[in-house]
Amino acid sequence: MEQAFPKVSVIIPAFNEDRYIGECLSSVISLEYPKDKLEIIVVDNGSTDNTNSIARGYPVKLIEKPGVKVGAVRNAGFAESTGEILAFTDADCIVPKQWLEDALVFLFRSGIGAVGGGCLVKENGTWLEKAWVSGQGSETLITKYLPGANFIVSREVFCECGGFDEVLSAGEDDKLSIAITSKGFQLLSLKQCFVIHQGYPKSVLEITKRQIWHSKNSIDITNPLTNKLFIATNVFIICHFIFPLLVYCHAQMFYISCVVVLITCIINIQPLKKVIAWNKQHNDISSAIIKLLQLNIIYYFYFVGRSVGLIFNYYLKIKYVMTGNGA
């Protein structure tokens, strides 16, 4: 029994999450896992709402880590943990009842470094939220990255890979994913381990803002020469500079059309993948076409946000080179 159920520390960073943290903690407490093998740690990042008072109403260890970035918040939870397994989620997520049991079946397989999954939305989510998660959670697969909201790893592997980067504003989960795979391990995204995420953007403006934040450290996280999203974002930026220049110079319509087609292709790659995966589950062509149109709108603003964040990242790098100061 001791072997079948190792002690698990569930680590939950939180910042002004009084709207969602109650549901999150209720779902963790309701996990089908021995309660004496479960440790729940909430790490507050300096909330100014009722997050702390709500958390204190649950059997959790509450610690405070204000004024630091999310990687340091997650690491603070690790520092207080005692479990041999670390399960990271976010305060705006709801975990399925067998989240840990299903994950541990795969985590202990040879060559697996970490397991988890992505995030879905509630049935009453907005059209934008539902379109965004189209096709997700349909299969179990080897992945390059696991999100910090659904990241389950052994203490041994976590320590070997140095934990989360405490300097990055965002992308600390991607960087840890890369560190784990660089050690020769695989990451598994399990369809049965997907969590419900209640904090998804609910407007294109929120999507743009979120992607600005996510991409501010993209140069520091990935290899720019091999990361497809990084390359696509750069092409998107170039196209948006070239297009108005061509119009201003009265260039031939052929060249303008080429730029428009290129931008359209960039925007459509991920939506097409999502819609194809969604249609495999539902087999509804008319609804799939609507979802594709919705996703095209979403991904345009997605790339606008990533472009702004990446340009800011470039600015900081240039500033650092030119002055020796900066990020």
What range defines the domain where residue 140 resides? 8-200
| Same-domain check for residues 34 and 163 | yes
pLDDT tens, position by position, 68-103? 999 999 999 999 999 999 999 999 999 999 999 999
- Does 224 share its domain with 92? no
For residues 126-150, give the mean pLDDT.
Answer: 88
Q: Taking 60 as the threshold, does the pLDDT of residue 326 lie above it?
A: no
User: What is the C-alpha separation between 281 and 275, in angstroms, rounded?
Assistant: 10
Number of domains in the chain: 2
Of the three residues 200, 228, 249, the one that is the final residue of a domain is 200
Which of residues 200, 232, 257 is at a domain's end?
200
pLDDT in the model for residue 2: 42
What pLDDT was estimated at residue 255? 66
Choose one of 200, 222, 253: the last residue of a domain: 200
Q: What is the pLDDT of residue 325?
A: 61
Question: Would you state the pLDDT for residue 1?
Answer: 32
Asked if residue 61 and residue 115 are part of one domain, the reply reads yes
pLDDT at 222 over 80: no
Is position 90 within any domain? yes
Q: Which residue has the higher pLDDT, 6 or 274?
A: 6
% of residues, the chain, pLDDT over 90:
60
Same domain, 112 and 13: yes
Is the pLDDT confidence value at 322 over 90?
A: no
Whether residues 193 and 217 fall in one domain: no
User: Do residue 48 and residue 101 come from a single domain?
Assistant: yes
What DSSP letter does each residue of 156-191 carry, written as one string?
A: HHHHHTT-S-SS-SS-HHHHHHHHHHHTT-EEEE-G
Report pLDDT for 281: 80
**Which CATH number belongs to the domain containing residue 113 in this structure?**
3.90.550.10
